[in-house]
């Protein structure tokens, strides 16, 4: 291919301007395709395709056909509000590929025509020779041909918490293309300099491949899937019942016009037209409550999705861990020690045998951390504002060494002044060590060498006894198995400046330092809360298997001996569906893992902060991005952004999601039981000697009062106290499942029985039976609304109480205000009769409370 180092005709001299222009014309610009903007009218149409909305549109058409403009306007208002909120939320989404483009470098330095030039990153082509320095963003995939102490931060692409050393391609063909010589677009040069030949640009680059993965849509949320089923069921039921009432009325000799209007009224009663408004309000209130708990919702339906989650797939760096390298363990030939402290702040303690150690108290620790701090190129930067964290410039591992020295009490600035550096051998991936030379105060030279234990803890470098080398090697293995990145630190003093070839011979082993990205203090409690709620935590990281295992065991995802999947090795589908920890995962493999879990029936929440997490965030049922340290790509791909980067916020948001879903089911119980009662009254009335129990206007009035303010207010009910002590509902469970439709029928029967009982009694005693039945139907449904509260007797959700009182007042007005009575065909009811109706209507409250006791529902099986 044109960008291959071995076939590039100009080699390390770069391309000519003419050849670069030719390749740019053939391959296209080094940029990512922008996502086409979805027009507003298309978003509106997608909202109107919801089956429940379609039913309401049919109801509008029927009411308009009969001249009932008032009810048509009410239903239309509900549709407009629901559609408007959905469109506004969606307009903010689908910007992930645009965000990817902002991650690439705006300009690049290349060698063309034998001289260095600054060109737009979009003009970089395969075969170009890049010139890179510290702080540069790599503009395209490339192979390194020249490097000096090159260290590249690939965390946004791979999830690796530690920058990666890169080296130039060697002379042998076996070296070309090795990962240690490849650099990817979007990564950042942390240290050193390099020249590299471009191998892939645009959509063919690493960033481009991720952009392609992110083109996959997220699909319907669990709530949307469940409501689609409800909408279809209600549509079928409405058509059937409408036909039955129409036929029965005509058979009794009623006029065609009256029965058509009555049938249409029953359709409106059967379909709770305020359901979209209730769902929208419940989701909006849930989103507001989540925002107060640092969880920012980008797509409104994602609020409920959190309550359905059965699996939380989390990355490691910055989510379960602090996202900063910290020295935690010290080993010297004299003993072990531990280090406490957070981040890069040089404050904390060093402890040995439970006792704090400071400068001068343990010579071996003084020597170890002094040498480690001197053999470092990083610097620590104090907070600029109160409350900010200490930050690091340079290699995070070396910054961790400086922080550890500060926690012992060493003054790093004084050390570098007293022992100035006079020479160095830089670290590279072949040597796996770094060596510095320092002038001693009294004359002479101190050589300090730090590096990988498998290299330095060896007789070729150390002038130490074999038993000490063996002990050190065993200690290094133990620290590595615990998930630490281990550095060995050695030293040798000379009377003069030795030749460079003698710097790394006869060294004295000072000790080992175990460095890791520590778990967040809240991580273990958060994972325990997930388990208590029946949610399975899964760790997916690009880091090393040993590191992944150690972190997962520390926070409680797995036991220390459980299986860890190394994604570089083949895995079967069953293992992908059931394993808890995945290491070395690529962006494509993260998507595969999420897909496998979803195919197994799970509702998956995926957390992430890097570019490499973007495709999986899009593929998951709900993507959760970090707001503080996350990339813009991850934030744009996600449904939920954590403003505080705390995984515990996801659990808090899941609680709100469960609350939203519980309130939607609460409204369905209330609304559908009332609708079922109205239909039952109209069907059973003629068989009890009541020709037409309710007039069409009366049906619509009761429907408007009960499904209006009280129904919407039910969407604001608080969560039950034990909501997070229950396992998540089965993903395949209908929104009317878990006994809800049976409960709807039972409560509907009580409402219908109260209404018909009062009507039959009033008809037999020559009272205004139709008006009494009308009042009883509305009052009993309002009693059911009060009984549907999550916490009866408390002051929670006062709006429901206000709504019920207001609706009941309007129901009284329908009997006693002449204008309303004329419109609805009602007449006044005697006070004594009214009191009897109110007393019997309270059976609605008793019925729904008693039903919860007698039929509490079967407990769901908990998840592992």
Q: Residue 405: name the closest of 434, 373, 363 by CA.
A: 373
Strand partners, 129: 111, 197
Q: Residue 293: name the closest of 545, 654, 553 by CA.
A: 654
Q: Which residues contact 761 (CB under 8 A, 6 or more apart)?
A: 767
Please work out, in degrees rounded to the nearest 5, the angle formed at the alpha carbon of residue 785 by the alpha carbons of 781 and 786. 120
For 802, how many CA atoms within 13 A lie in the half-sphere containing its CB? 9
Which 3-state string (H, E, C) describes 275-300? HHHHHHHHHHHHHHHHHHCCEEECCC
Q: Which residues contact 269 (CB under 8 A, 6 or more apart)?
A: 674, 675, 678, 679, 699, 700, 702, 703
What is the C-alpha separation between 485 and 477, in angstroms, rounded?
10
Distance of CA 788 to the CA centre of its chain: 32
What is the C-alpha separation between 786 and 795, in angstroms, rounded?
12
**H or E, element range at 720:** none
What is the C-alpha separation between 47 and 44, in angstroms, rounded?
5
Active-site residue identified among 315, 428, 543, 639: 315
Residue 137: DSSP 8-state: B
Residue 123: DSSP 8-state: G
Measured distance between the N- and C-terminal CA atoms of the chain, rounded to whole angstroms: 50
Burial zone of 321 (CB within 10 Å; 0-12 exposed, 13-18 middle, 19+ buried):
buried
Strand partners, 133: 193
What is the C-alpha separation between 793 and 443, in angstroms, rounded?
84
Rounded to the nearest 5 percent, the helix, strand and coil shares of the chain are 50, 15, 35
Using CA atoms, how far residue 824 sits from 223, 524, 687, 813, 819, in Å, is 37, 62, 24, 11, 9
Active site residue 113: no
Structural tokens at position 244:
């039955």
Residue 31: DSSP 8-state: S
Distance of CA 591 to the CA centre of its chain: 14
For 803, how many CA atoms within 13 A lie in the half-sphere containing its CB? 23
What is the C-alpha separation between 353 and 334, in angstroms, rounded?
12
Q: If phi over 0 gives left and psi between -120 and 50 gives alpha, with beta otherwise, what is residue 318?
A: left
Strand partners, 183: 142
Burial zone of 822 (CB within 10 Å; 0-12 exposed, 13-18 middle, 19+ buried):
exposed
* Phi, psi angle pair for 497, to nearest 5°: -85, 110
Residues designated catalytic: 315
């Amino acid at each position: 291919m044109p960008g291959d180092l071995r076939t590039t005709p100009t080699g390390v001299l770069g391309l000519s301007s003419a050849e670069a222009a030719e390749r740019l014309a053939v391959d296209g610009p080094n940029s990512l395709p922008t996502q086409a903007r979805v027009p507003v009218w298309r978003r509106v149409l997608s909202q109107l395709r919801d089956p429940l909305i379609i039913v309401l549109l049919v109801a509008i058409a029927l009411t308009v056909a009969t001249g009932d403009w008032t009810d048509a306007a009410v239903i239309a208002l509900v549709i407009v509000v629901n559609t408007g909120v959905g469109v506004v939320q969606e307009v903010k989404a689908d910007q992930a590929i645009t965000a990817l483009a902002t991650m690439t470098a705006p300009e690049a330095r290349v060698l063309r025509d034998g001289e260095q030039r600054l060109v737009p990153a979009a003009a970089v082509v395969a075969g170009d020779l890049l010139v890179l320095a510290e702080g540069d963003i790599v503009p395209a995939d490339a192979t390194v041909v020249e490097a000096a102490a090159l260290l590249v931060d690939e965390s946004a692409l791979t999830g690796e918490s530690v920058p990666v050393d890169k080296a130039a391609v060697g002379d042998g063909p076996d070296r070309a293309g090795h990962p240690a010589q490849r650099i990817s677009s979007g990564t950042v040069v942390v240290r050193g300099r390099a020249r590299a030949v471009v191998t892939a640009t645009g959509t063919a680059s690493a960033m481009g491949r991720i952009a392609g993965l992110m083109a996959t849509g997220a699909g319907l949320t669990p709530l949307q899937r469940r409501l689609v089923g409800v909408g279809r069921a209600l549509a079928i039921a409405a058509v059937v019942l409408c036909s039955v009432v129409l036929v029965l009325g005509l058979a009794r000799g009623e006029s065609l016009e009256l029965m058509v209007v009555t049938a249409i009224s029953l359709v409106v009663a059967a379909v709770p037209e305020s359901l979209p408004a209730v769902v929208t309000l419940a989701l909006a209130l849930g989103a507001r409550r989540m925002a107060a708990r640092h969880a920012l919702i980008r797509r409104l339906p994602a609020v409920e999705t959190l309550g359905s989650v059965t699996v939380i797939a989390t990355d490691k760096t910055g989510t379960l861990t602090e996202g900063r390298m910290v020295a935690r363990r010290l080993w010297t030939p004299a003993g072990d020690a531990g280090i406490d402290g957070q981040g890069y702040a040089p404050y904390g303690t060093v402890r040995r045998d439970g006792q704090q150690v400071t400068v001068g108290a343990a010579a071996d620790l003084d020597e170890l951390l002094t040498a480690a701090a001197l053999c470092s190129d990083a610097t620590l930067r104090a907070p600029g504002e109160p409350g900010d964290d200490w930050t690091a410039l340079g290699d995070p591992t070396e910054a961790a060494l400086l922080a550890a020295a500060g926690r012992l009490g060493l003054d790093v600035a004084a050390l570098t002044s007293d022992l100035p550096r006079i020479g160095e051998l830089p670290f590279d991936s072949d040597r796996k060590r770094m060596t510095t030379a320092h002038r001693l105060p009294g004359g002479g030279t101190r050589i300090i060498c730090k590096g990988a234990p498998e290299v330095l803890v060896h007789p070729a470098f150390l002038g130490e006894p074999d038993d000490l080398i063996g002990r050190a090697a065993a200690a290094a293995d133990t620290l590595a198995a615990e998930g630490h990145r281990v550095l060995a630190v050695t030293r040798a003093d000379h009377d003069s400046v030795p030749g460079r070839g003698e710097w790394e011979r006869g060294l004295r082993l000072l000790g080992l330092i175990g460095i890791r990205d520590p778990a967040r203090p809240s991580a273990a409690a958060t994972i325990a809360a997930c388990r208590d709620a029946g949610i399975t935590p899964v760790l997916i990281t690009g880091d090393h298997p040993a590191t992944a295992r150690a972190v997962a065991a520390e926070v409680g995802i797995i036991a220390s001996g459980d299986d860890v999947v190394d994604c570089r090795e083949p895995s079967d589908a069953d293992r992908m569906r059931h394993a808890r920890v995945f290491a070395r995962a690529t962006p494509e493999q993260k998507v595969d893992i999420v897909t496998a879990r979803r195919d197994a029936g799970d509702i998956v929440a995926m957390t992430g902060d890097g570019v490499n997490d973007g495709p999986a965030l899009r593929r998951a049922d709900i993507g959760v991005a970090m707001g503080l340290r996350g990339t813009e790509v991850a934030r744009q791909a996600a449904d939920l952004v954590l403003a505080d980067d705390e995984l515990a916020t996801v659990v808090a948001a899941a609680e709100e999601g469960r609350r939203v879903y519980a309130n939607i089911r609460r409204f369905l119980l209330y609304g559908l039981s009332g609708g079922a009662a109205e239909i039952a009254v109209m069907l059973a009335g003629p068989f009890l000697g009541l020709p037409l129990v309710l007039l069409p206007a009366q049906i619509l009035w009761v429907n408007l009062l009960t499904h209006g303010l009280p129904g919407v207010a039910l969407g604001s009910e608080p969560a039950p106290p034990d909501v997070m002590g229950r396992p998540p509902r089965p993903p395949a469970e209908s929104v009317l499942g878990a006994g809800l439709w049976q409960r709807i029928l039972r409560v509907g029967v009580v409402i219908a029985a109260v209404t018909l009982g009062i009507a039959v009694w009033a008809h037999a005693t020559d009272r205004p039976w139709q008006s009494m039945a009308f009042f009883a139907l509305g009052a009993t449904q309002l009693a059911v609304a009060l009984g549907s509260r999550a916490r009866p007797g408390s002051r929670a959700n006062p709006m429901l109480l206000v709504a019920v009182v207001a609706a009941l007042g309007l129901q009284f007005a329908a009997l006693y205000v002449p204008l309303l009575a004329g419109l609805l065909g009602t007449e006044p009811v005697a006070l004594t009769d009214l009191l009897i109706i109110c007393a019997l209507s309270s059976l609605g409250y008793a019925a729904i409370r008693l039903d919860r006791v007698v039929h509490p529902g079967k407990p769901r099986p908990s998840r592992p």
